Amino acid sequence: MTPDNVGKFYEADSTIYDSRWVKEGGRITSASQTKIVSGFVQAWNGKEILEVGCGSGRFSSLVAEVGSSVTYLDLTLGMLAVTREKLKANHPVFNGVNGSTYEIPLVSESRDAVISINVFNHIQEPATAIKEINRILRPNGKLLINFTNLYSIYWPFASYINSKHTSIGRDVYSVWSKPKEVSTILSASGFNILDVVGHVFVPLYLDKPVLRRIPIFLDGLSRKAPLKWMAPSLFYYCEKR
């Protein structure tokens, strides 16, 4: 599996993307992610924000609700259309941009903060992408980003995914990262890590009665150290140096 298929996959997936948040496990996962993101972005009132990889606009909408001006970027026109349709009634001033994480079509130092959620597990060159994010941030700008954690309780699944470079149940390029490597990349790309929060999501293959209870229970224990380092998703809140 090559990273070239990410755009094609999400273009085709754009019309059904939100269906993954309907089933019980998906609904709880979405609520947990929303709560985590909300806790970080409350201070972004009046700021100019970029969401990298907007998907269906779940987080762009959340950021706008705190009074931010949001530009949402995605690799696919399909996802941009879904986001635009979802947001236009309540947030008509949103600005959608079609582009790559590697070459963001915005001028340097033009945004106060960047958010990128559930994106970097599909990125082959995270260092290049994060340096590009740094470019468009103003001094002391904030970055909220998450990575899938190779050394988590889902290690067997993560190892399989890394061996195939494809998600389980979804034919799209995917990779899980080592936390130490993530920290190194962020630091080398000009960021100080201010906080790290853990999150145990309910994957598609565990979203079944009884089975889903285990990750839901563990999620409640995963926010802070030491248990956060066992969480399959790590949210990093950073500041540009």
Judge contact between 212 and 204, C-beta under 8 A.
no
**Tokens 């987080």 — which residue?**
59
pLDDT of residue 124: 95
In angstroms, rounded to a whole number, what is the distance separating the alpha carbons of residues 209 and 143? 36
Alpha carbon separation from 22 to 19, 26, 30, 161, 196 (Å, rounded): 5, 6, 9, 24, 27
pLDDT of residue 137: 98
**Average pLDDT in the 28-47 region?**
96
pLDDT of residue 86: 82
pLDDT at 53 over 50: yes
Give the model's confidence band at 4: pLDDT under 50 very low, under 70 low, under 90 confident, else very high: low
Residues contacting residue 90 through CB under 8 Å, at least 6 positions apart: 61, 64
Identify any residues that bridge with 198 across adjacent strands, giving them in sequence order: 234
pLDDT of residue 1: 40
pLDDT at 216 over 50: yes
pLDDT at 92 over 80: no
Q: What is the largest CA-CA distance in the chain?
A: 49
Report residue 112: phi and psi, to 5°: -85, -25
Judge contact between 146 and 199, C-beta under 8 A.
yes
Give the model's confidence band at 205: pLDDT under 50 very low, under 70 low, under 90 confident, else very high: confident
Both tokens of 167, joined, read 């998600």
Task: Give pLDDT tens digits for 106-158.
Answer: 999 999 999 999 999 999 999 999 999 999 999 999 999 999 999 999 999 99
pLDDT of residue 2: 47
Both tokens of 173, joined, read 């390029």
**Average pLDDT in the 41-54 region?**
95
The CATH architecture one would assign to domain 5-240 is: 3-Layer(aba) Sandwich (3.40)
Task: Give pLDDT tens digits for 167-184.
Answer: 998 999 999 999 999 999
| Residues above pLDDT 70, as percent of the chain | 96
Domain definitions of the chain by residue range: 5-240
pLDDT at 94 over 90: no
pLDDT at 191 over 50: yes
pLDDT of residue 90: 67
pTM above 0.75, yes or no: yes
pLDDT of residue 194: 98
